[in-house]
């Protein structure tokens, strides 16, 4: 029997893949190293017990949006909540992208920007980052002048390199670009600067959107919950493309309860940041090229130690330790990315790395 044809523009594309194999130490997906506090689970289970399962969830997620608005000192109608920040990105592409429209990414960066933009039929223009993996002002200005993009994705801190963008770059992007400027702050709690600060001012820009996720610092990757802070005029436009009742009641409860434990979240960020410095220093002492990071992961290059990136990745996997092999990405030859785990997991990783290069 004849199979129906998929869209022409999808035939040459691959899906997004991150290896999920059974190992003792999994440090490849930038998850938090520990679960939420026990008090979170107790409060969550108590409230879930009262869910009206036969009723649709609150379509607007109003209570969760109000709590997030209070956290960021903005209005509730500046908050859009979705199934992970990837659905936020998809909603932005459906709203402002599409056939005949252009999205800009700065490479290397999070692969889902280009993936989602292409699946929503945007034309994607890729601009190289500089030697330090930051967005060069000249490159930013040139692509805005030549392409007049409808969407621009700035990942800060950037995945997989860990580099954060400057306030100057964000301001230039917003002031010069005719389209929407999306600053993805999935790891924003680790960074020195947050673009959200520009959205809680009286003169907030009309084109800036900042995305956040509960997957990293809130220790809730299993929930798939994300949101963005945006100008008020955008939310009614998002409602035209998002599916009705897209955010279930359980997610809304989990998000609201997590926000009660803000102090514990900040403590986790501080602990992970300390481990990031310790592990970075240890890798540098072993002879690797280690890139500065303002996230919960570290990118390092293996070639100074005489190993190709994939070979080191294979040797670590043989010791039941999984990290992300970035060596096949453009400009990232022999680069690996390791998520910060618990102190014990990080020690196991460092010992395995030491044995792998001996």
The tens digit of pLDDT for each residue in 120-154 reads: 999 999 999 999 999 999 999 999 999 999 999 99
Question: Above 70 in pLDDT, residue 6?
Answer: yes
The tens digit of pLDDT for each residue in 23-50 reads: 999 999 999 999 999 999 999 999 999 9
The tens digit of pLDDT for each residue in 211-262 reads: 999 999 999 999 999 999 999 999 999 999 999 999 999 999 999 999 999 9
Exposed, middle or buried, 140 (CB in 10 Å: 0-12/13-18/19+)?
buried
Please state the domain extents for the chain. Answer: 8-36+263-357, 51-261
Percent pLDDT > 70 in the chain is 99
CA nearest neighbour of 152 among 203, 114, 199, 185 = 114
What's the confidence (pLDDT) of residue 14? 75
Residue 284 exposure: Cα atoms within 13 Å on the Cβ side? 10
What's the confidence (pLDDT) of residue 202? 77
What's the rounded mean pLDDT across residues 318-347?
96
Residue 297 parent element (H or E)? strand 297-301
What dihedral do alpha carbons 332, 325, 90, 205 form, nearest 10°? -50
- 158: Cβ–Cβ under 8 A, 6 or more apart, which residues? 106, 109, 110, 129, 133, 164, 165
Check: CATH 3.90.1410.10 for 8-36+263-357? no
The tens digit of pLDDT for each residue in 250-280 reads: 999 999 999 999 999 999 999 999 999 999 9
The tens digit of pLDDT for each residue in 273-301 reads: 999 999 999 999 999 999 999 999 999 99
Question: Above 80 in pLDDT, residue 88?
Answer: yes
What's the confidence (pLDDT) of residue 135? 97
What's the rounded mean pLDDT across residues 311-322?
97
CA–CA dist 82, 103 (Å, integer): 21
The tens digit of pLDDT for each residue in 170-200 reads: 999 999 999 999 999 999 999 999 999 999 8
Question: Above 80 in pLDDT, residue 17?
Answer: no
pTM: 0.95
What's the per-residue H, E or C state across 89-104? HHHHHHHHCCCCCEEE
Minimum mean pLDDT range among 15-19, 80-84, 97-101, 348-352: 15-19
What's the confidence (pLDDT) of residue 275? 98
How many of the other CB atoms lie within 10 Å of CB of 240? 9
CA nearest neighbour of 79 among 256, 321, 274 = 256
| Phi/psi at 128 (5° precision) | -75, 140
CA distances from 25 to 31, 153, 214, 307, 343 (A): 12, 32, 22, 21, 12
Q: Which CATH number fits domain 51-261: 3.90.580.10, 3.40.220.10, 3.40.640.10, 3.30.470.20?
A: 3.40.640.10
What's the rounded mean pLDDT across residues 80-97?
98
What's the confidence (pLDDT) of residue 19? 65
Query: How high is the mean pLDDT of the chain?
Result: 95
């Amino acid at each position: 029997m004849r199979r129906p044809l998929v869209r022409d523009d999808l035939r040459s594309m691959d899906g997004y893949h991150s290896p999920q194999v059974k190992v003792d130490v999994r440090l490849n997906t930038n998850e938090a190293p520990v679960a939420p506090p026990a008090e979170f689970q107790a409060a969550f289970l108590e409230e879930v017990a009262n869910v009206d399962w036969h009723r649709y969830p609150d379509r607007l997620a109003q209570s969760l949006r109000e709590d997030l608005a209070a956290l960021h000192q903005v209005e509730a109608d500046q908050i859009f909540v979705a199934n992970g920040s990837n659905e936020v990105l998809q909603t932005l592409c459906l709203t402002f992208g599409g056939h005949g429209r252009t999205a800009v990414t700065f490479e290397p960066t999070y692969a889902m920007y280009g993936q989602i933009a292409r699946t929503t039929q945007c034309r994607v223009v890729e601009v190289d980052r500089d030697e330090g993996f930051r967005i060069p002002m000249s490159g930013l200005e040139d692509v805005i002048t030549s392409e007049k993009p409808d969407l621009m994705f700035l990942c800060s801190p950037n995945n997989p390199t860990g580099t954060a963008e400057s306030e100057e770059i964000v301001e230039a992007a917003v002031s010069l670009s005719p389209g929407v400027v999306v600053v993805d702050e999935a790891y924003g709690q680790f960074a020195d600067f947050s673009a959200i600060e520009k959205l809680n001012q009286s003169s907030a820009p009309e084109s800036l959107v900042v995305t956040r996720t509960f997957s990293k610092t809130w220790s809730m990757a299993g929930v798939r919950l994300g949101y963005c802070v945006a100008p008020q005029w955008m939310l009614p436009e998002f409602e035209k493309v998002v599916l009705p009742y897209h955010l279930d009641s359980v997610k809304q409860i989990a998000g609201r309860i997590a926000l009660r434990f803000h102090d514990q979240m900040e403590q986790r960020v501080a602990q992970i940041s300390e481990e990031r410095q310790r592990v970075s220093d240890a890798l540098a002492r072993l002879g690797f090229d280690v890139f500065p990071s303002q996230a919960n992961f570290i990118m390092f290059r293996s070639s100074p130690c005489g190993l190709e990136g994939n070979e080191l990745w294979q040797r670590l996997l043989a010791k039941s330790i999984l990290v992300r092999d970035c060596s096949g990405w453009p400009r990232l030859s022999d680069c690996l990315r390791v998520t910060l785990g618990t102190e014990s997991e990080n020690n196991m990783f460092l010992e395995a790395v030491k044995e792998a290069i001996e």
